[in-house]
C-alpha cells in the first residue's frame, strides 16, 4: 500500500452509505490514516446502527437521507468535510427493477442532492467529492464490446434502472466538475465483494449457503442465471483506490477492476471445492424469481489508468477472494450453530 504510512491527523471525511459494505471498509481505512470520520445514517431506527456503533466507535453518525436535501446540508455543515465519499445508493440491480422510481430518486437524484449540499454551503473549493459510479453503466457484450476490458473511454449502455440512475449520477458529477470547478472524482468500480458483502448479492449468497450446506444446516441453494460473468475483486482493495482518487491533484474518472472475468459457475466450483464438495450441481436449484428482465452478460474491466496514474493495485485474486469468503462464513455459521470446524 503506497502511502500506507501517511497520516492526515484531523482531516475530516464524511461517508454516505456508512452501513454498507464499502462504508465499513472505508471507515476503517480512513480512521487508520488519522481522519475524523463522519457517517450519514438514515431512518429513525436503522437496524444496522448498533452494529456500526459497536464496530466503529470512532465514527460520528449524522442522521440524513439522500432524498432529503435539507438533511444533507446539515450533514455537510456538521462534518465540514475535506473529503466526502458518496457511497449511499439503492445498489441491488434486481431490486431496482422492482423499485425503479425509488432507485431513480436515491441512486440518481440523490447524487445531485449531495453535490448541491456542497455547493450551497459554499464548500466548492474545500470539499473533494468521490462519486461511486459502476460497471453497470456498461451494457455487456451485445452493446459494447470490451476488447481487453471496459475503460474510462468505453461507451455506456446501462441495462437496468440501477445502471440508468448511476449514469445520471456519473454525468451530474462530471457536470459539477466542469461547471463549478468542483473536485469530483468518479470511481467506475467493477464488482467487489468480501466477508462484509450483503447476502442479497450472488457471491455472499453462495458462500453463506456453502457454509450451511457443509454444516448440514440447509439442503441446497436457489439461484437465477449461472452463465453471466463478472470481474470480481476484494472490497478492501477497492476502498484504497477511492482514497487515492481524492489524493490525486486533479479530479478525474478511474476504473477499478481486476482485469479478469469469471462466471457464477466458476464461483460455485471454487466455493464448494473449498469445503471439499467437488460437484456443486446436486446442491444448486435454479429459480426464475432470481432472474432479471434484462441481464448484463459479461463485465471485464481494464484498470490500467488507475494502476499507472494512482499506483493502485488489487492484492486479492479470484481464488483468494472465494476462499476468504468461504472461510469466514464457515467459521461464522459454525459459531452460530455451536459446531467445531476441523
Nearest alpha carbon to residue 133 among 94, 185, 179, 63: 185
Site for ligand F7E contains 134 (CB under 6 A)? yes
Q: Distance between CA atoms of 330 and 205, rounded to whole angstroms?
A: 13
C-alpha cell, 267: 464461483
Q: Distance between CA atoms of 266 and 268, rounded to whole angstroms?
A: 5
Q: Distance between CA atoms of 83 and 33, rounded to whole angstroms?
A: 13
Residue ranges of E strands in the chain: 12-16, 36-41, 60-63, 83-86, 128-134, 184-189, 192-193, 221-223, 229-230, 233-234, 253-256, 262-263, 284-286
Site for ligand F7E contains 295 (CB under 6 A)? yes
Is 136 designated active site? yes
* Residue 190 DSSP one-character state: P
Comparing CB distances to ligand F7E, the nearer of 81 and 163 is 163
Q: Is residue 99 within 8 Å of residue 107, measured between CB atoms?
A: no
Residues 151-180, mask of contacts with ligand NAP (x by CB under 6 A): ------------------------------
Comparing CB distances to ligand F7E, the nearer of 7 and 294 is 294
Residue 255: CB minimum distance to ligand F7E, A: 11
Residue 93 binding target from ligand F7E, ligand NAP, none, CB below 5 to 8 Å by type: ligand F7E
The residue within the footprint of ligand F7E, chosen from 223, 270, 298, 325 (CB under 6 A), is: 223
Site for ligand F7E in 303-342 (CB under 6 A): none
Nearest alpha carbon to residue 202 among 238, 229, 235, 239: 229
- Among 28, 38, 130, 136, the active-site one is 136
Return the residue matching grid coordinates 476504473: 255
Residues 197-236, mask of contacts with ligand NAP (x by CB under 6 A): -x--------------------------------------
Site for ligand NAP contains 48 (CB under 6 A)? yes
Is 134 designated active site? yes
Residue 22: CB minimum distance to ligand NAP, A: 3
Nearest alpha carbon to residue 3 among 236, 244, 233: 244
Q: Distance between CA atoms of 298 and 44, rounded to whole angstroms?
A: 39
Residue 216: CB minimum distance to ligand F7E, A: 22
Nearest alpha carbon to residue 3 among 34, 37, 39: 34
The residue within the footprint of ligand NAP, chosen from 17, 140, 161, 228 (CB under 6 A), is: 17
- β-partners of residue 230 are 262
Q: Is residue 11 within 8 Å of residue 2, measured between CB atoms?
A: no
Residue 52: CB minimum distance to ligand F7E, A: 19
The answer for residues whose C-beta is within 8 angstroms of residue 64's C-beta and 6 or more apart is: 16, 40, 41, 42, 71, 72, 74, 75
Site for ligand F7E contains 256 (CB under 6 A)? no
The residue within the footprint of ligand F7E, chosen from 16, 86, 91, 154 (CB under 6 A), is: 91
Site for ligand F7E contains 137 (CB under 6 A)? no
Is 339 designated active site? no
Return the residue matching grid coordinates 450451511: 212
Binding piece for ligand F7E, criterion CB under 6 A, among 68-76, 78-86, 211-219, 290-298:
290-298
- Please give the backbone phi and psi of residue 298, each rounded to the nearest 5 degrees, phi first: -145, 135
DSSP per-residue string spanning 82-103: SEEEE--S---HHHHHHSHHHH
The residue within the footprint of ligand F7E, chosen from 18, 24, 62, 202 (CB under 6 A), is: 202
Residue numbers of the site for ligand F7E (CB under 6 A)? 91, 93-94, 134-136, 190-191, 200-202, 205, 223-225, 228, 230, 264, 290, 292, 295
Query: Which positions are annotated as active-site residues?
Result: 134, 136, 162
Residue numbers of the site for ligand NAP (CB under 6 A)? 16-23, 40, 42-43, 46, 48, 65-67, 87-91, 106, 132, 134, 189, 191-192, 198
Amino acid at each position: 500500500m503506497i502511502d500506507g504510512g501517511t497520516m492526515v491527523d484531523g482531516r475530516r471525511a464524511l461517508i454516505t452509505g456508512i452501513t454498507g459494505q464499502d462504508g465499513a471498509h472505508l471507515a476503517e481505512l480512513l480512521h487508520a490514516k488519522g481522519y475524523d470520520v463522519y457517517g450519514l445514517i438514515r431512518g429513525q431506527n436503522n437496524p444496522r446502527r448498533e452494529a456500526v456503533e459497536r464496530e466503529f466507535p470512532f465514527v460520528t453518525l449524522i442522521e440524513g437521507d439522500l432524498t432529503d436535501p435539507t438533511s444533507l446540508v446539515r450533514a455537510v455543515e456538521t462534518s465540514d468535510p475535506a473529503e466526502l465519499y458518496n457511497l449511499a445508493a439503492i445498489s441491488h440491480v434486481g431490486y431496482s427493477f422492482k423499485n425503479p422510481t425509488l432507485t431513480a430518486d436515491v441512486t440518481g437524484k440523490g447524487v445531485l442532492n449531495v453535490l448541491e449540499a456542497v455547493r450551497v454551503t459554499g464548500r466548492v473549493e474545500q470539499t473533494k467529492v468521490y462519486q461511486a459510479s459502476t460497471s453497470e453503466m456498461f451494457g455487456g457484450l451485445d452493446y459494447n464490446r470490451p476488447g481487453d476490458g471496459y475503460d474510462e473511454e468505453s461507451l455506456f449502455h446501462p441495462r437496468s434502472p440501477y445502471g440508468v440512475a448511476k449514469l445520471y449520477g456519473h454525468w451530474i458529477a462530471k457536470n459539477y466538475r466542469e461547471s463549478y470547478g468542483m473536485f469530483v472524482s468518479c470511481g467506475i468500480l467493477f464488482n467487489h465483494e468480501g466477508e462484509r458483502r450483503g447476502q442479497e448479492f450472488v457471491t455472499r449468497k453462495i458462500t453463506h449457503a456453502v457454509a450451511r450446506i457443509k454444516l448440514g444446516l440447509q439442503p441446497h441453494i436457489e439461484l437465477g442465471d449461472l452463465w453471466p460473468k463478472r470481474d470480481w475483486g476484494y472490497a478492501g482493495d477497492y476502498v484504497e483506490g477511492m482514497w487515492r482518487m481524492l489524493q490525486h491533484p486533479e479530479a478525474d474518472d478511474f476504473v477499478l477492476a481486476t482485469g479478469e472475468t469469471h462466471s457464477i459457475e466458476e464461483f460455485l466450483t471454487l466455493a464448494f471445492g473449498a469445503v471439499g464438495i467437488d460437484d456443486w450441481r446436486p446442491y444448486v436449484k435454479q429459480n426464475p424469481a432470481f432472474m432479471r428482465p434484462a441481464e448484463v452478460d459479461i463485465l471485464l474491466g481494464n484498470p490500467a489508468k488507475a494502476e499507472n496514474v494512482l499506483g493502485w493495485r488489487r492484492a486479492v485474486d479470484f481464488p483468494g477472494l472465494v476462499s476468504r469468503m468461504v472461510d469466514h462464513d464457515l467459521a461464522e455459521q459454525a459459531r452460530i450453530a455451536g459446531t467445531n470446524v476441523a
